[in-house]
Amino acid sequence: MSFDINKIRSDFPILKRKINGSNFIYFDNAATSQKPNIVIDSISDYYKNYNSNIHRGVHTISQEATDAYENARAKIQKHFNIRNSHEIIFTSGTTHSINLVANGFQDLLSDKDEIIISGLEHHSNIVPWQMMTEKNGAKIKIIPINENGELNMKAYDNILNSKTKLVFVNHVSNALGTVNPIKTIIEKAHKVNAAVLIDGAQASAHFKTDLQELDADFYTTSAHKLCGPTGIGMLFGKEKWLKKLPPYQGGGEMISDVTFEKTTYAELPHKFEAGTPNVSGAIAFGIALDYLNEIGFKNIYNYESSLLQYTTEKLKLIPNLKIYGESKDKTCVISFNIDGIHAYDIGALLDKFGIAVRTGQHCAQPIMDHFGISGTVRVSLSFYNTKKEIDVLYNSLKQAISMLS
């Protein structure tokens, strides 16, 4: 299918909004993506036509809802090329997935063990491990980053050893857009028998990942980053790991046999899906994947790459503007500051021009500390953005700077 930007934009009703009298321009896609009609409609269709609890009912609509829910799992399986569908756990999103794994490893590790976290992590990727290591005494080692916002792989080689049991890296940094060399990281970790969890939240909207080829032990993403709804995500875990980890939450759906003396847990994936799941969310997640695959990830990648290049060149025309994170391999995220002007002021004025950007630390204080700054303005693009919108950003930014200087 060819890439028809006008058709694509017409799929997203929110893009028709006006903010402060100007056309709404959404450049906060790394925080969450906008939703196409087909995703929005799938949620109301579910509630209007076949809302029911799944896996238990014998009646027609319960079967329909169960089929749609499991069909969504099958779509995720196909999209990420996952060997078995029961290796996919529906979670409420990436943060939930990480907590699930961290909780599982709590009893598997002791104070003799080490885990490795990259210096490019989002807070949600740091805190669960700190909570875990407070309980089991395992040590956290950090892979430092260089001036371009890339992981220092030599340092990784130095901290990786036979005590390392787990490695945590995001596929793409949310603050800088750096694409990390996760294939190499995984290969090296496996040589010392460490498991690897990859946070794919910032990657999944921009390119397709083959999880069998990648050979990650765990991989997680959130649907809302890729045109799906909030409150739903997936955790992939290799069967051998998911069997080893204890259940995270107790409740219905995750049990096979219950007496007051003992409960036998259900098989995968239900062991980790306690309670009534987010059925409409899972279905809409599947629809979002369909939508993106129909546009084609190659098309998306090519279009976004040209947008990134255009934006970077355009922003560099602005005097005293410094871009943070200029890795050769990055997604369409541009984090920057302008000398002598606080990021918050830029963000507040751009909002007045109808442009949504993110300012601040982007939940990644350690990265900001690394660069010795308190925050940045982050422009994060998506395939429904246009060069024309970048031109509006450029002109608005110039006006904002002249107001603030």
Partner 1 sequence: MKIKEIQDEIIEEFSLFEDWKQKYEYIIELGNTIELIDEKNKTDSNLIKGCQSKLWLYAELKNGKVIYTADSEAIITKGISAILLRVFSNQTAKDILNSDAKYIDAIGLKEHLSPTRANGLVSMIKQIKYYALAFNTN
Residues within the interface to partner 1 (CB under 8 A): 20, 341-345, 348-349, 352, 359-360, 374-375, 403-404
Specify the pairing of strand 333-338 against strand 376-380: antiparallel
Q: Which is nearer to partner 1, 319 or 340 (CB)?
A: 340
Q: Which residue in 33, 34, 27, 30 sits closest to 10, CA to CA?
A: 34
Token readout for 148 is 């371009």
CB of 167 to partner 1, least distance (A): 32
Alpha helices (H) along 169-318: 182-191, 211-214, 239-244, 279-295, 297-316
CB of 403 to partner 1, least distance (A): 6
CB of 366 to partner 1, least distance (A): 17
Task: Give the CA distances from residue 217 to residues 48, 54, 242, 343, in Å, rounded to whole numbers and listed in that order.
Answer: 38, 28, 9, 38
Cβ neighbours of residue 346 closer than 8 Å, sequence gap 6 or more: 338, 357, 359, 377, 397, 400, 401, 404
Give the DSSP letter of residue 253. Answer: S
Token readout for 165 is 């049991």
Reduce the DSSP state of residue 214 to 3 states and report it: helix
Determine contact, residues 114/164, Cβ cutoff 8 Å.
yes
Residue with tokens 């907590």: 99
Determine contact, residues 312/333, Cβ cutoff 8 Å.
no
Q: Which is nearer to partner 1, 79 or 358 (CB)?
A: 358
Single out the catalytic residue among 321, 363, 373, 404.
Answer: 363
CB of 180 to partner 1, least distance (A): 27
Task: Give the CA distances from residue 314 to residues 108, 341, 389, in Å, rounded to whole numbers and listed in that order.
Answer: 50, 19, 12
Q: Which is nearer to partner 1, 47 or 344 (CB)?
A: 344
Q: Which is nearer to partner 1, 169 or 392 (CB)?
A: 392
Q: Which residue in 350, 303, 319 sits closest to 5, CA to CA?
A: 303
Q: Is 363 a catalytic residue?
A: yes
Q: Which is nearer to partner 1, 127 or 404 (CB)?
A: 404
Cβ neighbours of residue 82 closer than 8 Å, sequence gap 6 or more: 76, 88, 211, 212, 236
Q: Which is nearer to partner 1, 322 or 342 (CB)?
A: 342
Euclidean distance between CA atoms 24 and 65, whole angstroms: 36
Q: Which is nearer to partner 1, 31 or 404 (CB)?
A: 404
Euclidean distance between CA atoms 364 and 375, whole angstroms: 9
Q: Which residue in 113, 122, 267, 271 sits closest to 194, CA to CA?
A: 113
- Active-site residues: which are they? 363
